[in-house]
Amino acid sequence: MLQVLHDRLAEQVAALRSGQDWQRWLATAARFHTYSTGREGVFEFRE
């Protein structure tokens, strides 16, 4: 089972490496907000 999952992951990564798919993935990832680790620490401390 683990080998099957590994093979599927390898196939998907290989497919992602094409230029158009990679650019589309980067554009999607760029829309997500990122938080600095320093601010997360402040939020945890205040809660």
**Which residues form the domain of 11?**
2-46
Q: Look at residue 37 in the predicted model and tell me its pLDDT.
A: 61
Q: State how far the Cα of 14 lies from the Cα of 18, in Å rounded to an integer.
A: 8
What confidence tens digit (pLDDT) does each residue in 1-47 have? 999 999 999 988 887 776 787 888 888 988 887 766 665 555 555 55
Cα 7-11-13 angle, rounded to 5 deg = 115
- The predicted pLDDT at position 2 comes to 93
| Number of folded domains that form the chain | 1
